């Protein structure tokens, strides 16, 4: 009896095992079918969603050599009186660590009307944020310069972590070109020094005749080169038809050692920012350096440099 019972049990178990196998197979087939189903195009997981979009790079990959960027004819017009020592026009190159990112040059010439200084600085701006183009980063840097110079209509863009990182990187990878603008004249160390002078009330803008202004202390017929009256032609302003953006700043600064007029032209061409500093110093406080002449010379140089960038 026992063997028969075992055989009968075995026959009853066979259909149950088959059913279990069928159920498991159906479940497995359903799982495989689900994993192979195509992705719904509307479920937010399209093939393009994971692709990073990089902003367009700037037009310029290199910079012109600063000391060779200005023609000898232009230098003789801006810095007259050095024909006897032609090497003066070779200029003094700024210390730089990557000439494709920053380069500058400085000239100094003694003239009959005083000492003239010329400094040019090229900065190629690179954005390390893939969502911000080189041009946009350069425009942001330019606007900060315009705002710092109190140029009319200048707007300082809000700072962001990416822009702060870019600014610090730019300063680190650039040169000490700004430091090269330091002058041998007493009291003139750098642009920062000029700002300190302004804080002490030594700086007078166009038309601002303070008590220590040379024109205020001179006799009415003291032979001043100009009345230094503010006008739309000479006041700090934005410039048209010069690169993508440009501005001009004009500062008259008086010190015990003399006076100097500082003309600054800054322009942006795509991702390159060029800065021109053109200053005239004199110890004769009865003769104020002319705004019109210095501004025209600086703008002529700016026009020439835009051409050099596009060569």
Local confidence pLDDT in tens for the 311 residues of the chain: 444 444 444 444 455 545 444 545 555 544 444 445 454 544 444 445 555 667 888 899 999 999 999 999 999 999 988 777 778 899 999 998 899 999 999 999 987 778 999 999 999 999 999 999 999 999 999 999 999 999 987 665 555 444 444 444 444 444 444 444 444 454 443 433 333 333 333 333 333 333 333 333 333 323 334 444 456 678 899 999 899 999 999 999 988 888 999 999 999 999 999 999 999 999 888 888 989 999 999 999 999 999 999 87
The answer as to whether 20 is a domain residue is no
Residue span of the structural domain in which 95 resides:
66-220+228-309
Q: Which two tokens stand for residue 98?
A: 């990557």
Residue 248 domain-assigned? yes
Task: Please enumerate in sequence order all residues whose Cβ is within 8 A of that of 262, keeping only pairs 6 or more positions apart, or say none.
Answer: 194, 249, 250, 251, 253, 277, 278, 279
Tell whether 55 is covered by a domain: no
Closest to 271 in 3D by CA, of 249, 247, 239, 245: 245
E strands, the chain, in order: 92-93, 102-111, 114-124, 203-204, 237-238, 245-255, 258-269, 272-282
Count of domains observed in the chain: 1
pLDDT for residue 233: 73
CB contact burial 252-271 (16+ within 10 A = b; e otherwise): bbbbeebbbbbbbbbbbbbb
pLDDT for 232 equals 67
pTM tops 0.95: no
| Residue 171 lies inside a defined structural domain of this protein | yes
pLDDT at 51: 58
> With contact defined as beta carbons under 8 Å apart, do 76 and 86 qualify?
no
Tell me whether residue 91 is in a domain. Answer: yes
Is 26 within a domain?
A: no
Exposed, middle or buried, 95 (CB in 10 Å: 0-12/13-18/19+)?
exposed
And the tokens for 137? 């980063």
Q: Which pLDDT value is given to residue 255? A: 84
- What six digits make up the tokens of 83? 């024909």
Residue 6 in any domain: the answer is no
Is 17 within a domain?
A: no
């Amino acid at each position: 009896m026992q063997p028969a019972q075992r055989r009968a049990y075995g026959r009853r178990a066979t259909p149950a095992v088959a059913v279990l196998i069928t159920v498991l197979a159906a479940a497995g087939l359903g799982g495989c079918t689900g994993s192979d189903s195509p992705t719904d195009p509307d479920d937010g997981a399209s093939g393009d969603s994971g692709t990073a979009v990089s902003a367009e790079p700037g037009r310029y990959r290199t910079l012109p050599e600063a000391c060779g960027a200005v023609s000898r004819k232009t230098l003789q017009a801006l810095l007259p009186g050095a024909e006897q020592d032609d090497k003066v026009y070779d200029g003094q190159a700024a210390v730089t660590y990557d000439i494709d990112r920053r380069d500058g040059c400085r000239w100094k010439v003694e003239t009959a009307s005083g000492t003239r200084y010329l400094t040019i600085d090229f900065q190629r701006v690179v954005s390390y944020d893939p969502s911000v183009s080189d041009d946009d980063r350069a425009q942001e840097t330019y606007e900060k310069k315009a705002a710092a110079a109190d140029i009319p209509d200048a707007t300082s863009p809000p700072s962001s972590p990416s822009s702060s990182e870019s600014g610090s990187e730019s300063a680190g990878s650039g040169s000490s070109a700004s430091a090269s603008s330091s002058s041998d004249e007493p009291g003139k160390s750098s642009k920062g020094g000029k700002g300190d002078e302004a804080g002490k009330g030594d700086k007078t803008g166009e038309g601002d005749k303070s008590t220590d202004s040379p024109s205020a202390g001179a006799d009415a017929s003291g032979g001043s080169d100009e009345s230094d009256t503010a006008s739309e032609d000479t006041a700090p302003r934005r410039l048209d038809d010069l690169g993508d953006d440009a501005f001009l700043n004009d500062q008259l600064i008086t010190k015990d050692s003399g006076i100097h007029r500082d003309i600054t032209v800054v322009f942006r061409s795509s991702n390159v920012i060029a800065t021109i500093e053109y200053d005239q110093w004199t110890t004769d406080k009865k003769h104020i350096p002319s705004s019109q002449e210095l501004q025209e010379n600086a703008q002529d140089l700016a026009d020439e440099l835009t051409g050099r960038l596009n060569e």
